[in-house]
Structure formats: structure tokens, C-alpha cells
Structure 1
Amino acid sequence: MKTMKAVGFDAGLPISSPNSLRDLELPVPEATGFDLLVEVRAVSVNPVDTKVRAGSPSLETPRVIGYDAVGTVVAVGPDVTRFAVGDKVYYAGSIGRSGTNAQYHLVRENIVGHKPQSLSDAAAAALPLTAITAWEALFDKLKLAPSDSGTLLVIGAAGGVGSLIIQLAKALTDLKVIAVASRPESSEWVQFMGADEVVPRDFASDVKRLAPNGVDYVFTSFTPANLEAIADVIKPRGQVVSIDQSGGSIDALKSKSITWHWELMFTRPLFEPHDYYQHQLLNEFSGMIDAGRIRSTLTTHIEPINAEGLRRAHELLESSTITGKVVLSNWPS
């Protein structure tokens, strides 16, 4: 039986514990049905990785997580029609399946895109989950169109999703983007991403100065601490899209008849296994990357992919001081 390297855990331990993530040796899976077997070359780490790991109960067998990958297709199931052995791909996987922190990974073809040709494996691995999330938030939930104007407030702007919310809004709409960023390096990063204005974490007074009539749209990845401020600065009949838990009642928004959207990019993979929307989206996103309209959000690159490197990556995310994305590439020989 052929085996592969992987990284997993069997209990929700603090990341400071050497057993919070462990190097594993597992069987190489077999591609069946609509699955691609991908030889993984690079992965990135997202907040969902740290939350799933830290919140896990004790397990009888180790669990492998990871929700971004770049690699090469090495085998295809008999029902696959859109990919062939040798294709370079990138994708975000599904929270309902074993993850990408493994040398070989199974993923359904309907959520996989062709990797941007202009990017390295590491630079491309920074993008899939956050690109899908940002795209669905702006264009599925808020229903934005190229001619749309007004003001978008981005809370959590320096993170992986926020960085792409800014870029997509500036590339594909006429919106003015106000980014929330508190540290000097975060402020510099969101301006590099294209934000028109930057405001500090306690943003209400600054936003009301920049948008006296209120903002039209709010994207938030730090909702609980900001509900009152969002209600204060948003226009009547405005729209909010959130990617985290509200942490409390959103009744403060009722008097303004605010529309509230939840965005979870795993909804399609979990509930619509034959939907090819994310496949098409990632291919379109690759085109935008290769045309120079969108840039990678890679900021921290770690080698190789192993338990030590992933523990470092999780620690960086849990510190809440990282801008952009943390990526790992190349398995140890």
C-alpha cells in the first residue's frame, strides 16, 4: 500500500502544545466518481483551520484539515470531464471532507479551478478560499454590478478575505472603499490593496465624517464587537454581509430596515455537490490574476509543509496580527 505524508490532530489542544498538530503517515486515497487526486504542492492557512483544530473533541483517529491547495492532478475518477492528469489546479476543498494538509488529496472537480499561470504555487495557494468568499459576498449576496457606486465599509480589511473584498470592489465596481485597519502595517497593506480611505478600529466617528449620509454596504469578519458601530454608520435600507458569528442580537439594525447576509463558501460544497459555480468562479478569477487585475495576498511563506510549519502558521493566525495570507509549500523529502 502506497503511503503519504500528512499533518493532523486527535484532540483540540492549544497550538503551543507539540501534539496540537502531528506529522502522520497515511494511505494514499483513490480517485472515484467525480474526484480528482491532487498531488499537493502548496497550502494556505485560514481562520477556519484554527477554529476547527482548537474546537475539536478527542478523536479515535487523527483528522487532517486544510482548506486551500495548489497541486497537480495525478489521477481522475471515471465521471470526471473537466480535468486530466497533469493539470495544475487550485481550490478550497470542503469542510465535510479530509483536508489538504496531505501530500495527496481528493477533491470533487466541481469546486476546482485551473491555477493562474502567472503565479507561483505559493502565491496561488493564498487565494482560493478567500477569493470565493469575497466574490460570493460581493456579487451573490450584495448583488453588486459594475455600475454600482456608493460606499463599502470593510471591517477586517487586512485579512485574507478583506484584502480581496477591497481588490474586487475596486476592480469590478465604482464603489468607494473605506477599510478598517488599526496598526501601521495593516493600514499600509490595505492601501496597497486599493482602499480609498483607512479608519481605525474605533471607526464610527471617522466613517461618519467620510460618509455623512452613511455607508451603503458593510463587509465584516469581526462582527460581535462592531454591531453597534455598524448600526450607527450604515444608511437606512443598507446591506451587511458577515462571514463570522454575530455574537448577539442584530435587532439594532431593524429600525433602519437593514438587510443582513451570511456568507459561507462551504455551503455549495456541502449541500450542492453537482454545482459547478465555484469551478467557473476560480477559472474566471485565474483570468483576472493573469491579466494583472488582481494580485496575490501572500505575505508569509513557510517551508516545508510539516507539523512544525503548520503549528507556526496557526500560531500566527491566532495572534490576530497577520496581514494577508500565510502559505506553506513543498513537503520534506
Structure 2
Amino acid sequence: MKRRRSEDPDGHSDYRILGYDAAGIVVAVGREVSLFKPGDSVFYAGAMNRPGANAEYHAVDERIVGRIPGSLTSAEAAAHLHYDVGDLVGPEVKAIGFESVDYVAAITTTARSGPDIARATNPQGHVTLIDNFDDSIAPFKPKSITISWAMMLTRSLFETADTDAQHRLLTEVSALVDAGVLRTTLSQASGPINAENLRKAHETVESGRAIGKIVLEGF
């Protein structure tokens, strides 16, 4: 959705396939692949410099792929375990027993949330942002709070030396899911992947009223 809104389709000579967060079954592997084999059930976020996940077949770098947790369906795995820790600010932080915290992972931020996050963070704390953040960071200055970004797609986009860390992280996530420590955020399965269902899913997310992840499955 963000990519569709931010890019001008007229600026590209070829069509563009959108979509991130996918799960499926490996049908073929390259000669140098060592982590997976045909028939493996896998999940992954995708990459900005490759066609998106709204397609029947994907070419994916094995270094950013993990095996689906045995306790999840493909749809649940595709929901990709996103958690909104960024909303645990103000009264919510106190409700779970803390006056303030040293670290905040603002996985999803909302307009004008900066001051609330700053109040909930201890002096010399650390706030990591994943979503776009258009607010002023001035509220963080008095406490000398460190602000950093953590973009999951950086490794695949720039082929960093630690690209395979994404595979290791997903492997750990799979183990935590099967151990019952983490759970999927799948809230709605909206049928097969087609233009109509994709349009409806985008509209729901853009409405700001979506809770959890919306997944399309099959063709």
C-alpha cells in the first residue's frame, strides 16, 4: 500500500507487482541454494528490488527466507508476526507495570505520537522506528533519547554482508511460535489473490480501522 501511494506508475516502463509478506512451498531451487529444497514450506517478507508477493510464483533470495512454524497455517505465517509495541505508550505502559521504559520499538506509529513516546521513554533511552515518522523529534531532545530506524528490507535491498541474518531471525521466530511465545496477528483471510480482493484489502488498511494483518490466499 505504501509503495503504491508513494511511486508514480507513469515513471516506470514495465508493470510493477506489489505485495510483501508471503508464505508458500518451494517448487525449485538454484544450484547454489543450500538452505531449502523443493517441497519446503517457507515464509518471508520479500524485497523492494524484486517483484512483489501478489503473484503465483516468486523468485526469492534464500538468505531472507525461513521455514514456516509447524503450528501455523500458510495464511497465519504470511501475517508475518507484526506486533505494535509502539502503541504501548502513556497509560498503557503503566497498565503493564512500568512508569517508563529504556527501549521502545515503535513498529507502527500514528500522527502526533512523538510526545507520548518521549514521555514513556527514560532519559538516554532508545526509540527504534519502523514506520514513517513525520512528527518533530524535538520532544526526544531533552532526554537525549536516541532515535534510529530499522527497515527490514535494508539487507535485501543493499545485499549487506549480514543478509543471511534475516534467515536466522525467521528461524528463531519459527521456534518461538511453536513454543507458544509468539503468535500470529492474522485477523482476516479475504479470499484468493485477485484484483478485486487486493483493492478491498488496500481500502481496509487505508481506512485506518484495520486490526492485525489481512491475508489473501490462493488464486
TM-score bracket for the superposition, by shorter chain length? 0.7 to 0.9
Letter in 2 for 1:250: I
In terms of mean alpha carbon deviation, does 246-255 or 289-298 score higher?
246-255
Residue 71 of structure 1 pairs with residue 24 of structure 2: yes
Residue number among 146, 161, 186 corresponding to 1:298 in the alignment: 186
Structural mapping, 1:225-240, within 5 Å? 225-240=112-127
The equivalent residue for 2:105 is 219
RMSD: 2.2
Q: Which runs of 5+ in 1 are unaligned?
A: 1-49, 132-159, 166-177, 181-202
Residues 89-142 of structure 1, C-alpha deviations (whole Å, 9 max, x = no match): 111111111111111110000001111122111111111xxx4xxxxxxxxxxx
The equivalent residue for 1:324 is 212
Residue 53 of structure 1 pairs with residue 12 of structure 2: no
Residue 280 of structure 1 aligns to a residue in which SS? helix
Structural mapping, 1:127-138, within 5 Å? 127=80, 131=81
Residue 71 of structure 2 aligns to a residue in which SS? coil
Q: Does the CA-based 8 Å contact 1:224-1:245 persist in structure 2?
A: no
Residue 245 of structure 1 pairs with residue 119 of structure 2: no
TM-score under structure 2 length normalisation: 0.88
Letter in 1 for 2:77: A
The equivalent residue for 1:256 is 143
The equivalent residue for 1:87 is 40
Q: Does the CA-based 8 Å contact 1:110-1:273 persist in structure 2?
A: no
In terms of mean alpha carbon deviation, does 240-249 or 303-312 score higher?
240-249
Residue 139 of structure 2 aligns to a residue in which SS? helix
Count of equivalent residues: 214
Structure richer in strand, relative to its length = 1
Letter in 2 for 1:259: T
Q: Cα offset for 1:272?
A: 2.8
Q: Which runs of 5+ in 2 are unaligned?
A: none
Q: Cα offset for 1:56?
A: 2.1
Q: Cα offset for 1:212?
A: 8.0
- In 1: Cα distance, 2:104 partner to 2:199 partner: 33
Q: Cα offset for 1:82?
A: 1.1
- In 2: Cα distance, 1:85 partner to 1:208 partner: 45
TM-score under structure 1 length normalisation: 0.59
- In 1: Cα distance, 2:13 partner to 2:60 partner: 24
Structural mapping, 1:78-117, within 5 Å? 78-117=31-70
Residues 280-317 of structure 1, C-alpha deviations (whole Å, 9 max, x = no match): 11112111212222221111001111111111111111
Residue number among 143, 146, 159 corresponding to 1:272 in the alignment: 159
